[in-house]
Amino acid sequence: AQSVSQHNHHVILSEAASLELGCNYSYGGTVNLFWYVQYPGQHLQLLLKYFSGDPLVKGIKGFEAEFIKSKFSFNLRKPSVQWSDTAEYFCAVIGYGGSQGNLIFGKGTKLSVKP
Amino acid sequence: EPEVTQTPSHQVTQMGQEVILRCVPISNHLYFYWYRQILGQKVEFLVSFYNNEISEKSEIFDDQFSVERPDGSNFTLKIRSTKLEDSAMYFCASSVWASSDEQFFGPGTRLTVL
């Protein structure tokens, strides 16, 4: 069965610090990978996605993620966080093989950025 | 910008009662989904719906759950006889296509079963 692991439950950073949130998935076949963000009081929004091609994908608000197939990883990065990045971040995967698009989510990482 | 809407934002019900959660997907989207998130746990897939029928469902989606698209705009999730463990945030999502497409999420309905 497909699963997604996010290594950090809660990350606390100061503004301008660099961010890396880990995500590993378990699925042997072709996958589509996503990072969603949920700002306080708001709904899930797509940050970025990887389907194929360049394994380094850029998303909104300066976020990027790198797909490393050999490590089954899709870590999220941002060189310099802002207070407004305070949110919960969810890694998700869709594996091919009959799936009609159901996203498998990780548990989420709560990011708190101190001003 | 078009968005997925859900009503109500919060529903409180007694155990054993039926609840209907409503969603209006984005108008040109073809695939619809329900997910739930129990407090402190992962967002979990419940069901996907396409062309007026269920495409896929998880083991959570048992006989007490049903989905319907009663008209051209609404997409509903019905829980026939609620249990305490059904208390969760329920998210509706929609996408133009399946699998390879971005899913747009609604704000969620918080269901509290007493």
Q: Is B25 on the interface with A (CB under 8 A)?
A: no
CATH fold for domain B5-94: Immunoglobulin-like (2.60.40)
Asked if A80 contacts A17 with a C-beta cutoff of 8 angstroms, the reply is: yes
Are the Cβ atoms of A101 and B31 closer than 8 angstroms? yes
Beta partners for residue B110, in sequence order? B10, B89
Q: What is the pLDDT of residues B16-43, one digit of tens each?
A: 999 999 999 999 899 999 999 998 888 9
pLDDT value at residue A99? 55
pLDDT tens, residue by residue, A30-89: 888 999 999 988 889 999 999 889 999 999 999 999 999 999 999 999 999 999 999 999
Which residues sit opposite B54 in a β-bridge?
A: B49
Query: In which domain, by residue range, is A81 found?
Result: 3-114
Unique residue bearing structure tokens 């498998």: A104
Segments making up each domain of chain B, as ranges: 5-94
Residue A24, SS3? strand
Yes or no, beta carbons of B91 and A102 under 8 Å apart: no
Candidate from B43, B95, B99 with C-beta closest to A99: B99
Pick from A99, A100, A104: which is nearest to B50 by CB? A100
Q: What's the pLDDT score for residue B106?
A: 95
| pLDDT of A102 above 80 | yes
Q: How many domains does one find in chain A?
A: 1
Is the model's pLDDT at A100 over the cut of 60? no
Short-list A14, A13, A21, CA closest to A109: A21
pLDDT confidence tier of residue B99, bands split at 50, 70 and 90:
low
CATH code where residue A21 lies: 2.60.40.10
- Residue A85 has a pLDDT of 97
Q: Quick one: which of A66, A64, A74 has its CA closest to A95?
A: A74
